[in-house]
């Protein structure tokens, strides 16, 4: 009976105060058992993608305290600067609750309590860390600091690659399960935004998951960021008609993607500065030579921002197909990269004669074969 009451109580305290806590703000208290030098505590938070010291206080009798209010939970850290010059810090999730750091002399090893997001983060990390450790171990075994070749057979390398892929898939499953089971959790939204919405996510696959979040989370700042990316990524999803867009070729002539209806188009996103794009170009050249008479056009969209670097790379790599760019770079708001949620390159899309995207991110020495299989 007693047990039942306790569970009910903690359930109530857990569910009720979300709005209440938002009004209350946060109180962070720190207690050091054995900090023997003068020191200062800093609360560091993220403002517009930059870390800023939001607050600082001199530690007195081993204790510090910060109070304030945040609009929504967020990553933050407490840093301790000692007069000796030594510093350490501990990341945590700041939210409007009473958060306590209990430490001996270093904040790094402090026990954090009171932040629900932080507790959830630690729970999730505990599940995924065994796999990240395994991945790191393999990566260390197969790479050398001095960049000399590693003495491993092709079979060993393949096995290692397969293992890493399987661990990555297992981590993803853990994250997906965590998100599905925590629809009211900021940490779940954070995980969704940072890990499920990775470089090449499939919009149709992940958007149902997003709509399982509570309305408050969906309309939070982080929620809005996520939905923006989902909507942009929908535009590069398989089965979706490519958006109308224009770019300019070397002669200053406007290129409109709709002008290639009736043909297969490999739309290749690249830039002169992008190592992996340049490394892939020989494969694209091979594909072009083999398939240009089979109703395939290749269009390379460069995210360069100067004509000289763009033109230089096209000449150096001897690319014979259509080259276009707006020379505005990749980060411009409302640019093509933003419209299609392209955050890293190389990336490509294969578009069919009707203008529908039928494949994405085809890469490698077997690019001609991969393309040939898709072109009718």
Partner 1 sequence: MKSIFLILFLFVAGAGASEAQILTPVHWSYAVKKTSPKEAVIFLKADMDAGWHIYSQHINEGGPVKTTIKFLASPDFTLKGTTIEPKPITKMEQVFGMEVSYFEKSVIFQQKISLKTGQTTVKGSIGYMTCNDEKCLPPATEEFSVAIK
Task: Write out the residues near partner 1 by the rule CB under 8 A.
Answer: 42, 44, 49-51, 53, 75, 77, 79, 81, 85, 87, 89, 91, 121, 125, 132, 136, 139, 147, 193-195, 198-199, 271-279, 303, 308-309, 312-313, 316, 329-331, 337, 343-346
Q: How far is the CB of 172 from partner 1 (least distance, A)?
A: 13
Tokens for 275, please give them. 């190592």
Cβ neighbors of 94 (< 8 A, separation 6 or more) are 26, 28, 43, 45, 70, 73, 74, 75, 76, 115
Q: How far is the CB of 122 from partner 1 (least distance, A)?
A: 11
- Cβ-based nearer residue to partner 1, 14 or 51: 51
- CA-based end-to-end distance of the chain: 70
How open is the CA angle 18-19-21, to the nearest 5 degrees?
65
> For residues 22 and 91, what is the distance between their CA atoms, to the nearest angstrom?
21
CB 189 within 8 A of CB 75: no
Q: How far is the CB of 4 from partner 1 (least distance, A)?
A: 36
- Cβ-based nearer residue to partner 1, 45 or 214: 45
- Cβ-based nearer residue to partner 1, 57 or 375: 57
Q: How far is the CB of 183 from partner 1 (least distance, A)?
A: 20
**Cα distances (Å, whole numbers) of residue 151 to 10, 142, 265:** 56, 8, 41
- Cβ-based nearer residue to partner 1, 26 or 42: 42
- Cβ-based nearer residue to partner 1, 193 or 218: 193
Q: How far is the CB of 352 from partner 1 (least distance, A)?
A: 26
Q: Cis peptide before 346, with omega less than 30 degrees from 0? A: yes
């Amino acid at each position: 009976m007693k047990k039942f009451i306790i569970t009910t109580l903690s359930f109530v305290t857990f569910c009720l105060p979300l709005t209440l806590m938002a009004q209350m703000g946060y109180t962070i208290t720190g207690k050091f058992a054995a900090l023997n030098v003068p020191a200062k505590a800093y609360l560091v938070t993220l403002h517009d993608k930059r870390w800023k010291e939001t607050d600082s206080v001199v530690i007195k009798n081993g204790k510090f305290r910060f109070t304030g209010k945040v609009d929504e939970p967020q990553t933050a850290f407490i840093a301790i600067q000692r007069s000796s010059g030594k510093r350490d810090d501990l990341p945590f999730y700041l939210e409007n609750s009473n958060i306590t750091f209990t430490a001996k002399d270093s904040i790094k090893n402090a026990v954090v309590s009171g932040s629900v997001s932080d507790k959830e983060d630690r729970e999730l990390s505990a599940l995924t860390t065994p796999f990240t450790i395994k991945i790191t171990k393999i990566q260390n075994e197969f790479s050398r600091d001095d960049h000399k070749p590693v003495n491993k057979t092709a079979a060993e390398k393949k096995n290692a690659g397969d293992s890493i892929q399987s661990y990555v898939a297992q981590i993803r499953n853990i994250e997906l399960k965590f998100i599905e089971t925590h629809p009211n959790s900021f940490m779940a939204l954070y995980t969704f935004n940072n890990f499920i919405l990775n470089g090449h996510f499939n919009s149709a696959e992940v958007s149902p998951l997003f709509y399982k979040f509570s309305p408050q989370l969906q309309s939070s700042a982080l929620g809005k960021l996520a939905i923006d990316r989902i909507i942009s990524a929908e535009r590069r999803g398989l089965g979706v008609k490519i958006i109308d867009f224009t770019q300019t070729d070397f002669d200053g002539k406007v290129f409109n993607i709709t002008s290639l209806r009736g043909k297969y188009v490999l739309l290749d996103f690249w830039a002169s500065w992008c190592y992996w794009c340049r490394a892939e170009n020989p494969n694209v050249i091979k594909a072009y030579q083999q398939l240009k008479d089979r109703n395939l056009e290749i269009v390379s969209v460069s995210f360069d921002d100067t004509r000289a670097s763009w033109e230089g790379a096209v000449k150096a790599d001897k690319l014979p197909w259509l080259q276009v760019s707006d020379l505005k770079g990749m980060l411009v708001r409302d640019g093509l990269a933003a419209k299609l949620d392209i955050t890293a390159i190389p990336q490509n899309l294969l578009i069919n004669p009707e203008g529908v995207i039928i494949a994405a991110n085809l890469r490698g020495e077997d690019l001609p074969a991969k393309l040939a299989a898709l072109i009718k």
